[in-house]
Structure 1
Amino acid sequence: MNTASPLEPIRFDTKIAVLLRADLEPWQRLNVTSFLVSGLGTQIPEVIGDPYEDADGVPYLPMFRQPVLVFEATKETLTTAHTRALSRSLPRSVFTSDLFGTGNDRDNRAAVRAVPTAELDLVGLAVYGPKNAVDKVVKGARMHP
């Protein structure tokens, strides 16, 4: 939780991280990232800030209250990160290669459900939690260029 005064820099004791497989096409990276983070606010409402409003009073939807850090890694590092996220019971979302061939939420969920955990062909993972725990999950990955 943030308790900084309005003039102090805001620091968070939590982290939102997205880990993408390094061999994805640019459009896939954007698509996977947007899908992965979409679930966080529905299950962890404290990650969402207040609504926005411009100088004319036009309202806008609230967004995450903190940055989303995007990393990339090999398939093996992504698999290891997934195992670490599971062992730490961190809130997480996954995107598998099978989801590029589906076109709706029902089929997406069925595609993930059809594959055992150890056999998921992960192309993306989002995790949220204490900074230290998330740092351990993404260890071995590098910041997305």
Structure 2
Amino acid sequence: MRFDTKIAVLLRDDLADWQALNVTAFLSSGIAANPELLGEPYLDADSDSDGIRYLPMFRQPLLVLDGSKEVLTAAHARAVSRGLPVAIFTADLFATGHDEANRAAVRAVPRADLDLVGLAVHGPRNGVDKVLKGARLFGRRASR
């Protein structure tokens, strides 16, 4: 199935594996704040008898890409200029411990000085493709 929109996470290519996973999880939660992107709850074969429901997930694939700091900075600028919904994760957030501290850490830095390590974006396929110009699928680089 081909979707008219695209959901993508872009990570800086110098992150440790644990950082890449952590950033991806946080950024995905930001995009999931849009309930229109979520499908229906999941049910297993026993759900009718025991009432177990599993949380809904995105109704379309989420791509994970990576790129250099420069690629990430350019993607951020393009996403903002296009007015696309974007979630960001900065290097400062690795040192915080909760949502309020995270928001304060981002709020303290002018946009041009944000030390971005990841972003998530959702929008029309062609617009998101243009935002992500220069990025590559995560895991496709020669070495980690």
Tell me the TM-score normalised to structure 2 length: 0.92
1:75 equivalenced with 2:79 (yes/no) = no
Q: State the superposition RMSD in angstroms.
A: 0.7
| Residue identity (%) | 67
Structure 1: which 5+ residue stretches go unaligned? 1-9
| Partner in structure 1 of residue 119 of structure 2 | 125
Counterpart CA distance in 2 for 1:69 and 1:40 is: 12
Counterpart CA distance in 2 for 1:41 and 1:26 is: 22
1:24 equivalenced with 2:15 (yes/no) = yes
Counterpart CA distance in 1 for 2:88 and 2:98 is: 15
Matches for 1:54-65 after TM superposition, within 5 Å: 54-57=44-47, 58-65=52-59
Counterpart CA distance in 2 for 1:143 and 1:13 is: 20
Counterpart CA distance in 2 for 1:85 and 1:51 is: 30
| Partner in structure 2 of residue 111 of structure 1 | 105
Counterpart CA distance in 2 for 1:66 and 1:52 is: 15
Name the SS of the counterpart of 1:39 in structure 2: helix
1:138 equivalenced with 2:132 (yes/no) = yes
1:91 equivalenced with 2:81 (yes/no) = no
Counterpart CA distance in 1 for 2:87 and 2:31 is: 8
Number of residues paired by the alignment? 135
1:18-64 CA-partner distances (Å, limit 9, x unpaired): 0000000000000000000102222x221100000001113100000
Counterpart CA distance in 2 for 1:76 and 1:40 is: 23
Which structure 1 residue ranges, 4+ long, deviate > 4 Å from structure 2? Answer: none
Counterpart CA distance in 1 for 2:107 and 2:94 is: 15
Counterpart CA distance in 2 for 1:14 and 1:99 is: 29
1:89-111 CA-partner distances (Å, limit 9, x unpaired): 00000000000000000000000
Displacement after TM superposition at 1:114 (Å): 0.2
